[in-house]
Structure 1
Amino acid sequence: MRYIKLRDLEVSRIGLGAMGMSHGYTDSGTDEAESIRTLHRALELGVTLIDTAEIYGPYTNEELLARALKGRREQVVLATKFGLVAHSGAGPGNLDSSPANIRTAVEGSLKRLGTDHIDLYYQHRVDPNTPIEETAGAVGELIAQGKVRAFGLSEAGPDTIRRAHAVQPVTAVQSEYSLWTRGIEDRILPVLRELGIGLVPFAPLGHGFLTGQIRSTDGFKEGDFRHGNPRFTGENFQRNLALADEVQAVAAEAGATPAQIALAWLLAQGEDIAPIPGTKRVHRVEENTAADSVQLTAEQLSRLSSLPPAAGETHNEAGRQMLER
C-alpha cells in the first residue's frame, strides 16, 4: 500500500468506507462478525483511512468501529461526520451544523468510537441555516482542544469551500466521484488543488454498479439507497449497464477485475485523491486494495475517460437538495 498526504494528514492511497456495514444497503447490519474481520483485514493490508458518520445506523456504525478497532486505534486515521443529526430535537436526517450541535455531536462520536480524538471531522452536508464560517470556527475550537485533528467538508460547493478554508484550513473534501459521477471535475477539483485540499471520493464503485455484478434491481429492498434511485431504475438502469460492460472489457484486457479498473482510473486522476470504497466482506477489501498495483495504459485511461455520463441523477429529490456540487 502506498500513502499520500491530504494536506498534512498521511493516509493510505485506498481507504475503507464502513457505512454499508450498518446502513444504506439491503443486507447492512446482518453480519457484524464478517464486518469486523473485514476491518481487521483492511488494517493488515495497510489501509489506514477508515470512514464513518454518526448518521450511519444512526450511531451503530461508530459503535461497530469501536469494537473492531479496540487495541488498534493507533493504526487508523479515523474519519467521522457531523451535521445530519440535529441533536436539539429534530433528530437524524435533519441538517444542523450550528456550533452548539457540533459540540454535542463530537462528544457522542468520541464516546461511541471509544477514542479521545477524531482524526478527520467532516461536515456531512452543508447547512444553509448556519454560516459556514461559524461551522468552521467551531471545528477549529475542537482542533485547539485536541478533540479533532483535521477539518473536512462533504459535497460542498466552491464558494463554501473557500469561505470555510479562510476560517479553518480544510484538509479534505469528500464527494461522490467515479467513472459514472464526474460532476466535480470542472467546479470542485480546481478549487481543491488551488487551496491544497485533498479529495476523498466516496462511492468510487458507483454503489456497486461498476463492479459489473449488478444486472438487476430486483434484490433492492426498501431502505436500500439504490431502491428507487434514478440511476437504478427503468431505462436509466438499462442504459447504464453499457457503462459497466465497457469497464468489464478494459478489465478483461488488463487482467484485473472491474472494481480494480474503476479504482485504478480514480487513482490515476491525481496524487491528492484517496478513494474509500465501501465493503463489509473480506474478499472485497482484498480485491479493492489490490487496485493500487493496477497500471492502466494511456489508451485504457483515455477509453475510460471518454465513457458517456451515467443516465439519471445520483440521488432522489430529497438527497439532491442537500448537494452543493
Structure 2
Amino acid sequence: MTYKNNELELHQLGLGCGGMIHEDQRKEYIATIHEALDSGIHHLNTGDFYGSGKNEMIIGEALKGQKRESAFISVKFGILAAPNGSMYGLDVRPATIKNYITYSLKRLNVDYIDLYQPARIDLGIPVEETIGAIADLVKAGYVRHIGLSQVDSETVKRAHAVHPISFIEMEYSLFNRSIEKEIVPTARELGIGIVAFGALAHGLLSGTWSKNQTSAYASRIPLFADKNIDNNLGLVEELRKIANEKQITVPQLALGWLSAQGNDFITLIGASRRATLHDSLKSVDVKLSAEDLKRIEQAIPESRIAGSSFPEVVYRNGVRSLQ
C-alpha cells in the first residue's frame, strides 16, 4: 500500500530517526537511512531537538550525494532542551520560528524542508500566529508542507483555515486508539494525512518486552506501571497467538494492522539499525482480512487496556508539556 494524499505519493512506512544520536553508531545510522531510501521509504522524520541537532546532522550526512528529492524530510521544532538533554519547555513564538529553521537547514545541508511542524502547540499563543509564521516560510521557499503534532481536532481546523495542513503526527497503536474518535474523522474531512508514531507502544508490542525490563522513559508511562504491566503483557500474548498463526512476529502484525487503517496513513518505524528496518519492512507483505482486523482488535480491546500510553500532560503558564 502507498500513501496517497495532497498530491503526494509516499511509502506507507516512514523512518523515525529520533534514536539516531549516538556518535559511535553513526555509520550504522547512515547505512540504515540509505537502505530505507533504496527500499522506497522517503519520509525521514526528525526534530531539531533530537540529540540537540545531532540527528539532523546525521541525516544531512546521509543525504550527501543523494538527489534532494529522494528524501521527504519532516522536522519538528519548538522543544527547549538543556545541555544535559532534558526537555524543559516549549517556544513556538512566530519570532523564533525563522531562527529554528535557519539552523535546521544548515545542519541538514538542504535548501528547503518538506514538512515543518511545531512539536506541540503553546496554548498561550493563537495557533493562527504559529501557522502564519510557517506559511511565510512556505512563501519564501524554505518549507513545502505544514504539519501539526499532538493536537486536538479544533486546533487542526483553526490551523487548516490559515494554511492547508498536509499531515497530523499523532501517537497511534493497538494500545492507544484515541485518535479514532475525533482526529481521524477531522483529518479525512479536511483531506489531511496522518503520520502515526508509537506503533509498537513504546516497546510493549516489540514481542520481547518482559516485566523486568525497565527504562527511564518507560517508567513514566502508565502502561508499564507495576499495577498495569501484567495485564498489558497478557494482552500482548493474545496478539502473539494471531501472529504465530500467520508465521510473523508481534511487531510485524502490529505494523500490518496500522497500515491496514487506510492509505491516508504513514506509519513511522523507529529503526536505527538495518536489521530492525528489514524486519519492519516485512510488515508491508502482511495481508489482513476484515475478520483478521476484528480478531486483532478483540485481542487488545480498549476496555481491557490498563493505563495510558503517554506520559501525563501538564500545563504551566498556558504551555502544554510532559510531566
Task: Give the TM-score, by structure 1 length.
Answer: 0.90
Label 1:319 to 1:71 Cα distance change in 2 as closer, same or farther (>3 A). farther
Alignment match, 2:236: 244
Contact preservation (8 Å) 2:313, 2:321: no
Query: 184-193 or 72-81: which moved more?
Result: 72-81
Q: Please report how far the alpha carbon of residue 11 of structure 1 lies from its aligned counterpart in structure 2 after TM superposition.
A: 1.7
CA–CA separation in structure 2 for the residues paired with 1:323 and 1:199 = 22
Label 1:215 to 1:92 Cα distance change in 2 as closer, same or farther (>3 A). closer
Alignment match, 2:191: 196
Letter in 1 for 2:225: T
Label 1:38 to 1:241 Cα distance change in 2 as closer, same or farther (>3 A). same
Letter in 2 for 1:265: W
Three-state SS of the structure 2 residue aligned to 1:16 is strand
Structure richer in strand, relative to its length: 2
Alignment match, 1:235: 227
CA–CA separation in structure 2 for the residues paired with 1:70 and 1:93 = 33
Label 1:301 to 1:59 Cα distance change in 2 as closer, same or farther (>3 A). same
Contact preservation (8 Å) 1:86, 1:101: no
Alignment match, 1:75: 70
Deviations 1:171-204 (A, max 9, x none): 0000000111101100111000000000000111
Contact preservation (8 Å) 2:92, 2:130: yes
CA–CA separation in structure 2 for the residues paired with 1:214 and 1:144 = 46
CA–CA separation in structure 1 for the residues paired with 2:231 and 2:24 = 32
Question: Matched residue pairs, number?
Answer: 312
Alignment match, 1:49: 43
Alignment match, 1:25: none
Contact preservation (8 Å) 1:201, 1:273: yes
Q: In the alignment, which of 117, 142, 151 is matched to residue 137 of structure 2?
A: 142
Dislocated runs of 4+, deviation >6 Å: none
Three-state SS of the structure 2 residue aligned to 1:150 is strand
Q: Please report how far the alpha carbon of residue 227 of structure 1 lies from its aligned counterpart in structure 2 after TM superposition.
A: 3.1
1:4 aligns with 2:3: yes
CA–CA separation in structure 1 for the residues paired with 2:212 and 2:70 = 38
Deviations 1:276-295 (A, max 9, x none): 11121111111112211110
CA–CA separation in structure 1 for the residues paired with 2:116 and 2:137 = 10
Letter in 1 for 2:224: F
CA–CA separation in structure 2 for the residues paired with 1:231 and 1:148 = 37
Alignment match, 1:308: 301
Three-state SS of the structure 2 residue aligned to 1:275 is strand
Q: Please report how far the alpha carbon of residue 216 of structure 1 lies from its aligned counterpart in structure 2 after TM superposition.
A: 3.2
Map residues 85-104 of structure 1 onto 2, 5 A cutoff: 85=80, 93-104=88-99
Deviations 1:197-231 (A, max 9, x none): 000001111122212111134452x4xx2133221
Contact preservation (8 Å) 2:175, 2:309: no
Alignment match, 2:12: 13
CA–CA separation in structure 2 for the residues paired with 1:6 and 1:86 = 34
Deviations 1:19-57 (A, max 9, x none): 1222xxxxx665222222211111121111110001111
The CA RMSD over aligned residues, in Å, is 2.1
Task: Give 5+ residue unaligned stretches, structure 1.
Answer: 23-27
Alignment match, 2:320: 322
Deviations 1:97-117 (A, max 9, x none): 111111111111111111110
Q: Please report how far the alpha carbon of residue 318 of structure 1 lies from its aligned counterpart in structure 2 after TM superposition.
A: 4.6
CA–CA separation in structure 2 for the residues paired with 1:168 and 1:86 = 29
Task: Give 5+ residue unaligned stretches, structure 2.
Answer: none
Three-state SS of the structure 1 residue aligned to 2:44 is strand
Label 1:122 to 1:241 Cα distance change in 2 as closer, same or farther (>3 A). same
Letter in 2 for 1:68: A
Equivalent pairs: percent with the same residue? 38
Alignment match, 1:61: 55
Contact preservation (8 Å) 2:116, 2:146: yes
Alignment match, 1:277: 269
Label 1:319 to 1:200 Cα distance change in 2 as closer, same or farther (>3 A). farther
Label 1:175 to 1:29 Cα distance change in 2 as closer, same or farther (>3 A). farther
1:133 aligns with 2:131: no
Label 1:312 to 1:7 Cα distance change in 2 as closer, same or farther (>3 A). same
1:214 aligns with 2:209: yes
CA–CA separation in structure 2 for the residues paired with 1:316 and 1:49 = 26
Q: Please report how far the alpha carbon of residue 148 of structure 1 lies from its aligned counterpart in structure 2 after TM superposition.
A: 0.4
